[in-house]
Amino acid sequence: MSSLYPIDSESREAKDLSGVWDFIIDPDDRGIDRGWHLSPLKGATAMPVPASYNDISTDPAVRDHVGDVWYQREFFVPASWGDSRLAVRFGSVTHHAEVWLNGRRVAEHRGGFLPFEADISDVAIIGASNRLTVRVNNILDWTTLPPGELTYKNDPANPSGKTRRQTYHFDFFNFAGIHRPVYLTRTPKYFIRDISVTTEINGRDGIVRYETDLHGNPDRITAVLHDAEGQVVAEATGPSGGLVVHGAKLWKPGNAYLYRLEVSASFTGGQPDVYRLPVGIRTVRIEGGKFLINDKPFYFRGFGKHEDADLRGRGLDHATNVRDFNLMKWIGANSFRTSHYPYSEEIMQMADREGIVVIDEAPAVGMNFFGGDQAGEKIFCEQRVNDKTLAHHLQVMRDLIERDRNHPSVVMWSVANEASTGEDAAVPYFTAVAEETRKCDPTRPISIVTFRPARSAKVEHLFDVIGVNRYKGWYENPGDLGSIQRDIEHDLRELHEVFGKPILVTEFGADTIAGFHQQPPAMFSEEYQSELISLTASVFDRLDFLIGEHVWNFADFATKQGPNRVLGNRKGVFTRQRQPKMAAHTLRLRWNNARK
């Protein structure tokens, strides 16, 4: 697998296979027995790629389907593409995928938020049409991230007498489908498989260290760094090395500067390969309780987000994404967390370019029963989150870091959100996750997002930054704005006393239906959200150990149906259509006059 994003260069081509594909629901997961991977899908309907399939159809059976669905399309491989390495590369398929080309199985992938590719060099028919078939499965169980549970409900209408039900312990809707672009790629037979870059600052100089991973026997490798105007600023040869940039322009939050690293490799018995990669020179570290970017204290202002929009669900949508970055800048945000799963590579590229700082989160959410029916039962145990879950979690951390380590915008890894960290068995689990994350990337701090009170949190001390989700005046003392300041101050001070680590408030907020007004403020009104945010944030200004504030959530988003959700989670500061609620103006005033 190559974690390099597909690009065009003098040696490479990437053909976007986005468009309208054939689609069919597999009601009893028997598509393979019926040979659906071997021939054109019969009775297929139209489905856009990339997009979640759930909200495209008007049929509840599509929206609420649990199990397999099938996608298919034909594509042409140009006759000029012979004698190359050919691959089909998926940005993400949620949650599990199996892929066939011309009836031959070429890939399988577990996990809904990271890329994978199928090498089709030996299967593709050059100069002809090829049929690509993808089986997509959306089932979550205790071995997947996020985890979930499959249950069965008696259903006389179903021939088997039962219907499958998917339950999960997080609120966002379990969107599924081919969520990110699918590229048909051509590279030379021998090629640059991977490049990793780290940067340092030495006085006025920037140092860019690179390391390459090559397929084939290279004759010569060169690395040339260009500035934003295209001028060469440093050069090196060899599979790895360091490039010194005199008088380097740094990648800074709110003021991104990107160099371009051009790596060329020539191979014995093959064509040369060239890959170009944006590089931002910056450092990140924690010292004296502060989060330092380029040795300057950085205070996180921003949001927990979701990849979520009308109709397309979690499918990549450039219009929504660019609008989101514009809104973040307008409101004075400098950062966001990829709650609760890795976001698309295209979003990470935007963050690099726009100078927005990112906390990059693994899809480990819902490892908790909260106050539900199973409250009191253990999560970290043989029949639930177990060794298999851990093995998958470690794999996801490795893959996430491999995908995102070159992004200057990414300053920290978050390994999980609101896990049941009061359990003894959570300790060895998260010890292993923390160790693996540090091993894969010794250059960035790591964090975990907790909802627990300090004294019953057993794993949080393993991390450099503790993210805390607090809902004072909402889930705690609902309707009582008067108690917020006292409660949040006491709570955050205790967390700092117990852990002695920088604290980042990763979630606080209130559900608000845009257009509902009430004075004195009442829950769900715009006044209540605005007041709750102002009161909570007024406390942050006097807490030195606090390194940032992220409001939950950037925008309203779809959830599973339930009695506390009014067509989704309404804690957005913006509506799902990306227009401001009153609280957006409150935050804009605060953040544009920020003291920290």
Residues acting as catalytic residues: 418, 507
Asked whether 354 and 329 are in contact (CB, 8 A), the reply is: yes
Q: Indicate the SS3 state at residue 551.
A: strand
- Kindly report the length of the chain: 596
Q: Which residue is nearest to ligand BDP (CB)?
A: 171
* CB of 6 or CB of 342, closer to ligand BDP: 342
* CB of 341 or CB of 429, closer to ligand BDP: 341
**CA angle at 244 for the pair 242 and 248, rounded to the nearest 5°:** 135
The secondary structure of the chain in percent helix, strand, coil, rounded to multiples of 5, reads: 20, 35, 45
Which residues on neighbouring strands pair with residue 130, listed in sequence order?
Answer: 75
Burial class (CB in 10 A: 0-12, 13-18, 19+), 595: exposed
Query: Shortest distance, CB of residue 429 to ligand BDP, whole angstroms?
Result: 19
At a CB cut-off of 8 Å and minimum separation 6, what does 459 contact? 419, 421, 426, 427, 429, 430, 431, 448
Token digits of residue 98: 């199996």
* CB of 340 or CB of 581, closer to ligand BDP: 340
Query: Shortest distance, CB of residue 171 to ligand BDP, whole angstroms?
Result: 5
Asked whether 307 and 94 are in contact (CB, 8 A), the reply is: no
Burial class (CB in 10 A: 0-12, 13-18, 19+), 30: exposed
Decide the pairing of beta strands 335-337 and 357-361: parallel
* CB of 135 or CB of 571, closer to ligand BDP: 571
Asked whether 331 and 591 are in contact (CB, 8 A), the reply is: yes
Could you tell me how many helices (H) and strands (E) the chain has, helices first?
8, 32
Cα 285 to Cα 55, 120, 282, 297, 577, distances in angstroms: 42, 42, 10, 10, 37
Query: Shortest distance, CB of residue 355 to ligand BDP, whole angstroms?
Result: 26
Query: Shortest distance, CB of residue 548 to ligand BDP, whole angstroms?
Result: 16
Identify the DSSP state of 365.
Answer: B
Residues in touch with ligand BDP (CB under 6 A) = 170-171, 340, 417-418, 451, 469, 507, 552, 569, 571
* CB of 2 or CB of 569, closer to ligand BDP: 569
* CB of 367 or CB of 587, closer to ligand BDP: 367
Token digits of residue 514: 């845009």
First to last CA, the chain: 43
Asked whether 200 and 230 are in contact (CB, 8 A), the reply is: no
* CB of 112 or CB of 278, closer to ligand BDP: 112
Query: Shortest distance, CB of residue 299 to ligand BDP, whole angstroms?
Result: 22
* CB of 2 or CB of 414, closer to ligand BDP: 414
Query: Shortest distance, CB of residue 515 to ligand BDP, whole angstroms?
Result: 20
Asked whether 553 and 571 are in contact (CB, 8 A), the reply is: yes
* CB of 308 or CB of 441, closer to ligand BDP: 308
Return d(Cα 373, Cα 584) in angstroms, integer: 36
> Where are the extended beta strands (E) located within 188-267?
191-202, 205-215, 218-226, 232-237, 240-245, 259-267
* CB of 138 or CB of 414, closer to ligand BDP: 414
Cα 36 to Cα 53, 66, 564, distances in angstroms: 19, 18, 40
Asked whether 346 and 321 are in contact (CB, 8 A), the reply is: yes
